[in-house]
């Protein structure tokens, strides 16, 4: 295996799911879970502006009128273009606080590792020209991607927030000084995003935010460990659902792909799903020593399984990006589509996996999920089994 350089190792450690406790706290507000719906019915990030299923936007108020209330803002982001934002009007200023999503809020950590200041704005137009020169622009990326993640979990999977209790997450950008990392901290229900020292851009991209917030889902459900095969499955789960969130956003600037963190750094993606070993660090297939590797390298077979299940093997073009996914046994696989693959993985994660789940048990968990959702004699069940065989999990 080709080992990454020291700087590359630092970047490969970007998506860590645990860290020291922080001082920022989330605000709790009740909400009602939605039933599962297909991606097409759930909508995309456009729902943030339209107000469909979110409790904000048209018909709820713009913050202009007799008093405070939910508002619909416009943000200029570093990574996702011009995006809609759920905000709050206090009566004199706007805040990056979203009442329609559990009062999720976004803070400027001011290049420190403790505390933070809630972003405010006089006219509800945020981020200037969407460059790092405007500190708000990083907040726009985080606030937007967090809203997309909420909408994905609620609209597609019927989950009422990251913990399932209607509570919105606190996000902090400009965390630390040129800190090329991001992490979720369950102890304060906070997600923290540094800035790339080379470009100055925030790490709060759609897939990284989705990854970090999925660590919150994992902490609230399976509780997968941070090392060994459970650690690999935890990082793999965060990559899988973070990727699905990027596709769900249907953003024309940050289009859906099977790469992780491709917009965050100048030297390209941290990881990929179709052929994980091409990052120079991950494994494509399970082997007996997989549990001795770091969690990111050990997550390769989980990512690869998901890609094969969703898209199949061999060459394929998706959103004008070329992929070519191999298999351990040379088999040729057909995918079942990302929507079904997501539902199977999520059900397995939240109903069967535990802190000690290894790859063999993950295979059983996903087969059980496929049988529950589509039937034990279904094509989906058979393709789950085939995709695991293709990454040498039997």
- What residues does each domain of the chain span? 6-157+174-209, 228-390
- Is 163 in a helix, a strand, or coil? coil
Q: Pick from 108, 346, 304: which is nearest to 217 by CA?
A: 346
pLDDT digits (tens, 9 = 90+) for 62-93: 444 447 999 999 999 999 999 999 999 999 99
Confidence label for 60 from pLDDT (cuts 50, 70 and 90): very low
Count of beta carbons in the 10 Å neighbourhood of residue 33: 15
Helix, strand or coil, per DSSP, at residue 243? helix
Tokens of residue 78, six digits: 């570093």
Find out whether 154 and 250 touch, Cβ atoms under 8 Å: no
- Do 192 and 183 touch, CB atoms closer than 8 A? yes
User: What is the widest separation between alpha-carbon atoms in the chain?
Assistant: 67
Q: pLDDT, tens digit, for every residue of 93-144?
A: 999 999 999 999 999 999 999 899 999 999 999 999 999 999 999 999 999 9
Q: Tell which residue, 338, 239, 221, 352, has the closest CA to residue 297.
A: 239
pLDDT digits 0-9 by tens, 152-197: 999 999 999 999 999 999 999 999 998 999 999 999 999 999 999 9
Q: Which residues pair with 324 in a beta bridge?
A: 315
CATH class in words for 228-390: mainly alpha
Strand-pair category, 182-185 with 170-173: unpaired
Pick the CATH number of 6-157+174-209 from 3.10.170.10, 3.10.150.10, 3.40.47.10, 3.30.110.40: 3.10.170.10
32-41, 285-294, 369-378: which range is least confident on average?
32-41
Contacts 24+ apart (CB under 8 A), 256-262: 256/318, 256/319, 257/318, 257/319, 257/321, 258/307, 258/311, 258/318, 258/321, 258/323, 259/207, 260/15, 260/207, 260/208, 260/211, 261/11, 261/14, 261/15, 261/203, 261/205, 261/207, 261/208, 262/207
State the helix-helix crossing angle for 338-351 and 206-220, rounded to 10 degrees: 30
Q: What is the distance between the alpha carbons of residues 181 and 198, in angstroms, rounded to a whole number?
A: 13
Alpha-carbon distances, residue 313 vs 227, 304, 309 (angstroms): 29, 10, 9
Q: Residue 307: which residues within 8 A CB-CB, separation 6 or more?
A: 258, 273, 274, 323, 325
Residue 69: enclosing H or E segment and its boundaries?
A: strand 69-76
């Amino acid at each position: 295996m080709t080992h990454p350089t020291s700087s590359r190792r630092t970047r490969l450690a970007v998506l860590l799911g645990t860290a020291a406790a922080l001082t920022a706290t989330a605000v709790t507000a009740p909400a009602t879970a939605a039933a599962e719906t297909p991606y097409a019915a759930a909508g995309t990030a456009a729902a943030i502006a339209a107000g469909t299923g979110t409790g904000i936007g048209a018909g709820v108020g713009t913050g202009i009128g007799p008093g405070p209330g939910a508002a619909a803002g416009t943000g200029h982001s570093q990574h996702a273009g011009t995006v809609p934002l759920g905000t709050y009007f206090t009566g004199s200023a706007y805040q990056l606080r979203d009442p329609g999503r559990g009062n999720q809020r976004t803070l400027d950590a001011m290049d420190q590792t403790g505390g933070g200041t809630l972003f405010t704005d006089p006219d509800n137009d945020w981020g200037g020209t969407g460059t790092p020169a405007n500190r708000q622009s990083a907040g726009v990326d985080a606030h937007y991607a967090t809203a997309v993640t909420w909408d994905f979990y609620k609209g597609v999977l019927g989950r009422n927030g990251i913990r399932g209790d209607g509570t919105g997450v606190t996000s902090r950008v400009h965390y630390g000084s040129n800190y090329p990392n991001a992490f979720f901290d369950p102890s304060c229900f906070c997600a923290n995003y540094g800035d790339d020292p080379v470009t100055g851009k925030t790490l709060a991209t759609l897939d990284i935010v989705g990854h970090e917030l999925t660590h919150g889902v994992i902490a609230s459900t399976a509780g997968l460990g941070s090392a060994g095969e459970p650690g690999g499955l935890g990082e793999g789960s965060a990559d899988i659902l973070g990727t699905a969130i990027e596709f769900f956003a249907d953003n024309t600037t940050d289009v859906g792909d099977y790469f992780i963190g491709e917009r965050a750094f100048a030297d390209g993606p941290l990881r990929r799903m179709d052929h994980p070993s091409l990052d120079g660090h991950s494994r494509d297939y399970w082997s007996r020593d997989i549990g001795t590797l770091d969690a990111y390298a050990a997550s390769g077979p989980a990512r690869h399984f998901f890609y094969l299940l969703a898209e199949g093997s061999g060459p394929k073009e998706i959103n004008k990006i070329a992929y070519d996914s191999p298999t351990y046994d040379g088999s040729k696989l057909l995918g079942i589509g990302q929507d079904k693959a997501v539902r199977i993985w999520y059900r397995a994660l939240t109903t069967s996996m535990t802190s000690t789940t290894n790859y063999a048990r993950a295979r059983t968990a996903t087969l059980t999920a496929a049988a529950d959702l589509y039937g034990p004699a279904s094509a989906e069940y058979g393709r789950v089994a085939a995709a695991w065989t293709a990454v040498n999990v039997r």
